[in-house]
Amino acid sequence: MGKNLFTTKSISKLLDQASADEHSLKRTLGPGNLVALGIGAVIGAGIFVITGTASAQYAGPAIVISFIISGLACAFAGLCYAEFASMIPIAGSAYTYAYATMGEFIAWIIGWDLILEYLFASSTVAVGWSGYVVNFFKENLNIDMPAYLVNAPYTHDQKLGWIATGAFINLPAVLIVALVSVLLVVGIKESARFNNIIVIVKLAVVLLFIIFGFSYIRPENLTPFIPPNTGEFGHYGYSGILRGSGVIFFAYIGFDAVSTAAQEAKNPQRDMPIGMLGSLAVCTILYILVAIVLTGMVKYDQLAVASPIAFAVDSVGAGLKWLNPLIKLGAIAGLSSVILVMLMAQPRIFYSMSRDGLLPEIFGKLHPTFKTPYVSTIITGVFAALMAGLFPISVLGELVSIGTLLAFTIVCLGILVLRYKKPDLVRPFKTPFVPVIPVLGAGFCLVQMYGLPGDTWIRLFVWMAIGFIIYFLYGKKHSKLNNP
């Protein structure tokens, strides 16, 4: 039994599976599309929401250091991802990489973790999208949407538990998930074109904020750069920087999503490293610049608001009033593309797990015309829409960062395992300075996981326990690798 749990799938078998004509996904994405997909996922909730709240609650102006820490962790993990993606250009991301290096059971753990990551991320961002849309309609168009149709029916308080809000459903969040799901069923190429347009719009808005906001930086807002710790771990000081880096890691899951499209890349050996590392480099630089400008324009303790960038623009008076509606439209566009990439990635995880027999065959069914995993896309869309419509953003978002960090840790360790076990494999892209880079990548991720709150760990353990039950009751018995 133990041997079966850690049986690995040969890379040659993975490549043969990818080339099977009857199951082949269309290869339509070039390096530009892949970089845009990564930027589409990364530039969204991180810049437009999390930067402000993490600064206000954890790190103050030193949130800049938090972004640097997270960026370094992503850079190390990204180099490991790039080696895997060039060598194993298969849909499935870290799940597939774990299957090839550490065995089926570890692959199941990471696959189940990725379901948590992407499903909750798409729902979380949909709720954030809804908030910006409602705010834009109310403040810029004087249209006040009914509260019972734009909020979750319950909110959650750490001390009081679940509290009824009187609302019925967050309808805008449901509608955006439904619309994006339909777009993804039609085809990845059409979705990528839509995403490219959105990426251009939101990058323009972010650059406008950086350029025009720079002249409104007040040095006194950046002092003290590292606020003194309040006596509580994670509340300012150096522990606050650490916790801030763990919380904002949610914003970096975009380049991981790029790897799920490997089987749809035209030349994955060349294009995947460009897509992942290129999008990571662009986004990290923008995050750091936005963090400096934002905390320089407004004192950090005032940034715990739903739309911190729009709030900062308003706070400086009439000089930047013209930028306010553009910021909101950019946020709406930015969050739309994040939802698209998250909902694109999740069905492709299902697709790979189904092809291996770990999930029912229906999850791997492709549309006869569009060649997209339409059944799993629809199932993902339905669940994501329900969660976005019924649960508050605080509950949905808590698990995303720890899930992402766990995925990156396993990928970094996988490189070490594969270099030791199969040193002679052809590697179109090689992670440099092994074992230093993979060890640093796993170490940075584990340290950031340590900085997250204890209840986040408890929820992760509960989710994983559910996954173990499903694996031993269904996945292990139907595994095509262990039950040929």
Tens digits of residue pLDDT in 351-395: 888 888 899 988 888 877 777 788 888 999 999 999 899 887 666
Helix, strand or coil for residue 128?
Answer: helix
Assess whether pLDDT exceeds 70 at residue 129.
Answer: yes
Assess whether pLDDT exceeds 70 at residue 416.
Answer: yes
What are the tokens at 318? 């009439």
Would you say residue 62 lies in a domain? yes
Assess whether pLDDT exceeds 50 at residue 22.
Answer: no
Task: Supply the pLDDT for residue 27.
Answer: 64
Q: Which residue has the tokens 């570890």?
A: 106
Query: Can you point out the beta strands (E) in 126-280?
Result: 154-157, 161-164
Q: Give the Cα separation of 154 and 156 in Å (integer).
A: 7
Would you say residue 245 lies in a domain? yes
Q: How many domains does the chain have?
A: 1
Q: Which residue has the tokens 């970094």?
A: 412
Assess whether pLDDT exceeds 90 at residue 255.
Answer: no
Closest of 452, 446, 437 to residue 409, by C-alpha = 446
Mean pLDDT of 320-338: 84
The domain that contains 295 carries what CATH number?
1.20.1740.10
Q: Which residue has the tokens 């960038």?
A: 309
Task: Supply the pLDDT for residue 61.
Answer: 95
For 93, counting Cβ atoms within 10 Å of its Cβ (0-12 exposed, 13-18 middle, 19+ buried), the class is: buried
Mean pLDDT of 431-457: 89
Would you say residue 175 lies in a domain? yes
Would you say residue 483 lies in a domain? no
Between 3 and 388, residue with greater pLDDT: 388
Mean pLDDT, the chain, as a whole number? 83
Assess contact for 244 and 54: CB atoms under 8 A: yes
Task: Supply the pLDDT for residue 28.
Answer: 65
Residue 229: strand pairing partners:
none
DSSP 392: -
Would you say residue 293 lies in a domain? yes
pTM above 0.75, yes or no: yes
Is residue 217 left, alpha or beta, with left meaning phi > 0 and alpha meaning psi from -120 to 50? Answer: beta
Would you say residue 192 lies in a domain? yes
The boundaries of the domain holding residue 199 are: 2-478
Assess contact for 476 and 359: CB atoms under 8 A: no
Assess whether pLDDT exceeds 70 at residue 182.
Answer: yes
Assess contact for 373 and 187: CB atoms under 8 A: no
Would you say residue 43 lies in a domain? yes
Closest of 58, 63, 120 to residue 394, by C-alpha = 120
Assess whether pLDDT exceeds 70 at residue 84.
Answer: yes
Helix, strand or coil for residue 480?
Answer: coil
Cis peptide before 435 (omega within 30 of 0): yes
